[in-house]
């Protein structure tokens, strides 16, 4: 069965640089979520989209922005990167909101040096 695809899988950036993470949800899934997992921590919700509109926003820094495109894929743009942004970034998708199971991608490991 098709799963959530994330690219790239690994990314190394320097401080103050910009990074773009991409997420391709499971076919027919209309909701995308982004989570950040720091070293030794549990995943923290960043932002979500339903039918290409932002549906919820968590503890996402102002330096980060995201959107969902017409083909339902999503991109997380991160600017002015800081050392503390080093983390595993997960995208999840679901068939609808609230009551539906969220399926997670393999994650993008971002290292900021």
Return residues touching other proteins (CB under 8 A).
31, 33, 35, 41-45, 48, 50, 55-56, 58, 88, 90, 92, 94, 97-99, 101-107, 109
Where are the extended beta strands (E) located within 1-113?
5-7, 10-13, 19-24, 31-37, 44-50, 53-57, 64-68, 74-78, 87-94, 103-104, 108-112
Instruction: Name the residue nearer to other proteins (CB basis): 64 or 90.
Output: 90
Q: In the complex, what is the shortest distance from the CB of residue 5 to other proteins, in angstroms, rounded to a whole number?
A: 11
Instruction: Name the residue nearer to other proteins (CB basis): 60 or 79.
Output: 60
Instruction: Name the residue nearer to other proteins (CB basis): 56 or 80.
Output: 56
Q: In the complex, what is the shortest distance from the CB of residue 78 to other proteins, in angstroms, rounded to a whole number?
A: 19
Q: For residues 95 and 108, give the distance between their C-alpha atoms in angstroms, rounded to a whole number.
A: 22
Name the maximum alpha-carbon separation found in the chain: 39
Q: What are phi and psi of 26, to 5 degrees?
A: -60, 140
Q: In the complex, what is the shortest distance from the CB of residue 97 to other proteins, in angstroms, rounded to a whole number?
A: 4
Q: In the complex, what is the shortest distance from the CB of residue 16 to other proteins, in angstroms, rounded to a whole number?
A: 26
Structure token digits, residue 18: 């910009």
């Amino acid at each position: 069965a098709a799963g959530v695809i994330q690219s790239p899988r690994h990314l190394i950036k320097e401080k103050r640089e910009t990074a773009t993470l991409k997420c391709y949800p499971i076919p027919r899934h209309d909701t995308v979520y982004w989570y950040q997992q720091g070293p030794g921590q549990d995943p923290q919700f960043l932002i979500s989209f339903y039918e290409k509109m932002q549906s919820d926003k968590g503890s996402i820094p102002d330096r980060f922005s995201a959107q969902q495109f017409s083909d339902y894929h999503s991109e997380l743009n991160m600017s002015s990167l800081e050392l503390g942004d080093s983390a595993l970034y997960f995208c999840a998708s679901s068939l609808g909101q609230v009551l539906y199971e969220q399926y997670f991608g393999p994650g993008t490991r971002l290292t900021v040096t």
